[in-house]
């Protein structure tokens, strides 16, 4: 009889955002009462990532969430995918972009229909920027002396040449999970070539992506991740990052590589506008649960499975 999978624990932690910068005239402020006091980018250049881009807008007073939407905030050329008011800080709004072209001029237009919670209107406002070279697709993790290049690890989007290395680590993960889940099947390539190539050449922020940790140019860890956004009528819209798979080279475990990947992923998640990182872990995998809690994750929900 197959061993029953009792449950999966969902663990999340919330990431903080950093404050950003400035833009509207005193004339607009005096005329309407409501004003945009800061935006990013402040220098008129918006860097775009493989996952899209975002602009943070700070108003001088709490805003009405219903008045901020794709119908009242638009761009030319059209590239806005979502407009979200921060539930905890209603003076802060995030505009998400997708399908941006490099080295292209964009203008974001704010309608006079936008208003504060007290009913004051925003004067019609425009903010322009030009897209620049992408944000780095990697995050450097340094252990020890910054000048000691032998201790420089790199967390970055996997490449075509990492296919065998990622699958080697994935086989180690499958073998580990097989201890409590006999349904796990050992195959040569847990990530087949067509699926793997889609993960490293994805076109949507909601598609799977594979990132690797390199140490001295060797792949010593990997993560498969994807972004998703809450779609509920009872809660504020949020962007979250999910870790679907994570593995570290067996011979290099307990050396802080997993923790470095978590830290690097956290920095990237902030750039992508995520409010939290989530993952699933099997109930029998107690060592993984302890490790994730050490990284700052906490149990949010408990999933249950009924085998038929």
* 65, burial (CB in 10 Å: exposed 0-12, middle 13-18, buried 19+): middle
**Between residues 55 and 24, the one the model is more confident about:** 55
In the chain, which ranges are continuous DSSP H helix? 26-32, 163-177, 193-200, 257-271, 286-294
The pLDDT score that the predictor gives to residue 17 is 30
With H, G, I as helix, E, B as strand and everything else as coil, classify residue 67: helix
The pLDDT score that the predictor gives to residue 221 is 96
Cβ atoms of residues 107 and 119 within 8 Å:
no
Question: Would the pLDDT of 11 be above 70?
Answer: no
Joined tokens for residue 50: 């493989």
Cβ atoms of residues 211 and 265 within 8 Å:
yes
Q: Which residues of 89-119 are buried (b: 16+ CB within 10 A; e: fewer)?
A: ebbbbbbbbbebeeeeebebebbeebbbeee
Question: Would the pLDDT of 38 be above 80?
Answer: yes
The pLDDT score that the predictor gives to residue 198 is 86
The pLDDT score that the predictor gives to residue 206 is 63
> Average pLDDT, whole number, for the chain?
78
Distances from the Cα of 61 to the Cα of 19, 33, 41, 128, 273, angstroms: 16, 9, 20, 22, 22
- Please give the average per-residue pLDDT across 234-238, as a whole number: 74
Closest by CA to 199, choosing from 260, 147, 158, 259, is 158
Encode pLDDT of 260-281 as tens digits. Answer: 898 888 888 887 778 889 999 9
Question: Would the pLDDT of 12 be above 50?
Answer: no
- Please give the average per-residue pLDDT across 232-255, as a whole number: 87
The pLDDT score that the predictor gives to residue 304 is 85
Question: Would the pLDDT of 6 be above 50?
Answer: no
The pLDDT score that the predictor gives to residue 37 is 92
The pLDDT score that the predictor gives to residue 136 is 42
The pLDDT score that the predictor gives to residue 87 is 82
Question: Would the pLDDT of 248 be above 90?
Answer: yes
CA 289, CA 260: separation in Å to the nearest integer? 17
**pTM (2 decimals)?**
0.56
CATH class of 26-132: mainly beta
Encode pLDDT of 54-63 as tens digits. Answer: 788 999 999 9
Joined tokens for residue 33: 């009462």
- Please give the average per-residue pLDDT across 277-304, as a whole number: 89
* 184, burial (CB in 10 Å: exposed 0-12, middle 13-18, buried 19+): middle
Encode pLDDT of 61-93 as tens digits. Answer: 999 999 998 899 999 998 887 788 888 889 999
**Between residues 263 and 190, the one the model is more confident about:** 190
**Percent of the chain whose predicted confidence (pLDDT) is above 70:** 78
The pLDDT score that the predictor gives to residue 233 is 72
The pLDDT score that the predictor gives to residue 168 is 97
The pLDDT score that the predictor gives to residue 99 is 67
CATH topology for 7-14+136-304 is Aminopeptidase (3.40.630)
Encode pLDDT of 139-187 as tens digits. Answer: 554 443 333 334 457 888 888 899 999 999 999 999 998 888 888 888 9
Closest by CA to 252, choosing from 278, 307, 214, 223, is 214
What is the layout of strands, in order, in the sheet containing 53-59?
36-39, 53-59, 92-97, 80-85
Closest by CA to 92, choosing from 276, 275, 278, is 275
Domain spans of the chain, in order of start: 7-14+136-304, 26-132
The pLDDT score that the predictor gives to residue 217 is 82
């Amino acid at each position: 009889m197959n061993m029953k999978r009792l449950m999966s624990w969902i663990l999340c932690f919330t990431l903080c955002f950093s404050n950003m910068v400035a833009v509207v005239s005193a004339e607009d402020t005096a005329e309407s009462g409501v004003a945009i006091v800061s935006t990013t980018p402040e220098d008129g250049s918006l860097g775009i990532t493989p996952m899209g881009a975002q602009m943070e807008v700070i108003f001088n007073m709490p805003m009405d969430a219903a008045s901020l939407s794709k119908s009242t905030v638009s761009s030319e050329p059209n590239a806005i995918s979502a407009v979200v008011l921060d539930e905890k800080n209603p003076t802060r709004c995030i505009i998400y972009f997708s399908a941006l072209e490099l080295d292209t001029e964009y203008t974001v237009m704010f309608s006079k229909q936008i208003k504060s919670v007290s009913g004051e209107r925003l004067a019609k406002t425009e903010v322009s920027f030009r897209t620049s070279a992408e944000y780095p697709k990697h995050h450097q993790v340094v252990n020890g002396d910054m000048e000691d290049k032998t201790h420089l690890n790199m967390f970055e989007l996997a490449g075509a040449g990492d296919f065998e290395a990622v699958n080697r680590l994935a086989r180690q993960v499958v073998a580990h999970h097989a201890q409590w889940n006999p349904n796990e099947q050992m195959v040569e390539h847990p990530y087949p070539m067509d699926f793997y190539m889609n993960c490293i050449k994805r076109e949507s922020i909601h598609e799977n992506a594979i990132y690797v940790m390199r140490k001295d140019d060797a792949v010593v860890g990997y993560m498969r991740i994807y972004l998703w956004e809450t779609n509920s009528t009872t809660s504020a819209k949020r962007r979250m990052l999910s870790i679907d798979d994570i593995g570290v080279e067996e011979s290099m475990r307990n050396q802080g590589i997993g923790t470095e990947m978590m830290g690097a992923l956290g920095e990237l998640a902030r750039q992508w506008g995520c409010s939290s990182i989530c993952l699933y872990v099997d109930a029998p995998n107690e060592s993984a649960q302890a490790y994730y809690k050490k990284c700052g994750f906490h149990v949010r929900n408990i999933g249950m499975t009924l085998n038929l």
